[in-house]
Structure 1
């Protein structure tokens, strides 16, 4: 039979063992969580989940700042102008930036997005009058891309670049003939005489077509006004095709006043800005931002009207 003190000692020993196990388990959980956190941060850095501004180096000494715009200009797409504007702001705010280059390669896109970028470029030029802003065209800068580009101090291109396409389009399809052939009946109920505006499954309404034409004409005039404001007397004023939607090579664009001179990013940095150290300020949206924007755009598309989208491309 155990003495009371022996039972107490055994109980204390068991209690100490339990505490030690709990302590060890807590530390095990802590280190596991730390491991997961480190792994998550590494993956976030590799895949850019938090977004980043790609700087070639820490901003040391005078440099040319470049921001790149690629792809179709559209909200939530590769050519979303939001990150482009953020990159331009960062480039202008850097005290060692001697000049900013917007390097573009885009067929155009949303007139709203293009107009927003045009406005932002004009504002930044006013805020930083001593820092020039140039556009350098790679393969193509057409339509909405050119809408934005005219806000720069000067536009440079390769002799074979594609520029222009100063026009607006609204496209869609009509399926009424196919429906008649297959015996499909369209059942459309609307509240509002024009709620089914340009519905592809209904016969084309002449009055609605006229309204659509008036709208694209209005946006076209906004585009023309922006080009004239940006290019001014550089434009060949008597060319009837200038605002017709045609495109030209970079070499012909110079003759028409759409482009100032031939040049690349390197040549503009070296010979025009006189700062051949190029620092990239292109902002890459995070994975979560891109996902959220795509969800938002998809939701808007489902909640919108039947109106076919218009674009500058």
Structure 2
């Protein structure tokens, strides 16, 4: 029997190793969109946390002919811990593979969103992007009067005088606020250290960058918070003209892929109230930047 040979003109169209060209490299594009929070949602791609992104990042750094990883960031911030965990994971994978990482800021890369951007070796933004907000903010609601108004009695029992600090259903105490400000100061110092470590001498000397202020793209370039203005399409095409840009996203749950939602659940009144508070909290993160 004669041996079968695939024509050269068809090889490049085949999947897997048969279709790979020796000079064809890959740039993985990872979209980091949403508020940074440990809370899970039915659609993982609407929030940023290490649980939803760990495997995504692994896949992004996995290609054999990987030229770079690009991060497309659109986030008003959120959890400091989740910001640090995701950024540390990016740096760990980049160091292991010795691969450059480029970040691209969209509408906003603020607070925790800028923390993520600093995980990259280079940061770019659009002229209209909002960048920075290197600070710490905490917000809550005072609901003591609301419970009384709707006739709900809440019973709280603790062992330890500090267990109910800043409880939204209790009156605010000055000593609790002072304690919170101490925590915020520690987190702010960690944030500053991260930015200084990652941006180094690129930061404008003498500039007051850590007030929590936010800047447009051109001002961020001037201050050294980012390296230039540009979009993924333009910058990556110029830097890696021979590479194929490959989006890497979280895989949706089976029910979502079939067009079916999660079964409805009957929630207690307090659960509904907490859910509404969480939704308002997410909305507040975006609203701070007019989005």
TM-score (norm 1): 0.68
Counterpart of 1:286?
A: 253
Which residue is equivalent to 1:98? Answer: 67
Residue 170 of structure 2 corresponds to 202
Cα RMSD of the aligned pairs, angstroms, is 3.4
Question: Is the aligned partner of 1:89 residue 2:58?
Answer: yes
Match in the other structure for 2:239? 272
Instruction: Using the TM superposition, give the Cα deviation of residue 184 of structure 1 relative to its aligned residue in structure 2, in angstroms.
Output: 9.2
- Between structures 1 and 2, the one with greater helix share: 1
Q: Equivalent residue for 2:217?
A: 250
1:294 corresponds to which residue? none
1:235-254 CA-partner distances (Å, limit 9, x unpaired) = 124222x1111111111110
Q: Distance in 2 between matches of 1:193 and 1:256?
A: 45
Rounded Cα–Cα distance in structure 1 between residues aligned with 2:92 and 2:151: 56
Cα deviation for residue 208 of structure 1 reads 1.5
Shift of 1:91: 2.4
In terms of mean alpha carbon deviation, does 183-192 or 151-160 score higher?
Answer: 183-192
Residue 65 of structure 1 corresponds to 28
Larger RCO, structure (CA 8 Å, separation 6 or more): 1
2:8 aligned partner: none
Structure 1, unpaired ranges of 5+: 1-56, 290-297, 303-307
Which of the numbers 205, 220, 224 marks the counterpart of 2:192?
Answer: 224
Q: Give structure 1 regions of 4+ aligned residues with deviation exceeding 4 angstroms.
A: 175-188, 308-311
1:261 alignment partner, one of 228, 234, 254:
228
| Counterpart for residue 80 of structure 2 | 111
Please say if residues 68 and 84 of structure 1, whose CA atoms lie closer than 8 Å, have aligned partners that are also in contact.
Answer: no
In the alignment, which residue of structure 1 is the partner of 2:104?
136
Q: SS at 2:250's partner residue?
A: strand
SS at match of 2:105: strand
TM-score computed with the length of structure 2 as normaliser: 0.72
Larger Rg: 1
- Residue in 2 aligned with 1:174? 142
Cα distance in 1 between the residues matched to 2:94 and 2:181: 35
Q: Which residue of 2 aligns with 1:19?
A: none
Q: Match for residue 160 of structure 1?
A: 128
- Whether contact under 8 Å (2:67, 2:243) holds in the other structure is no
Kindly state the Cα deviation for residue 139 of structure 1 after the two structures are TM-superposed: 1.4
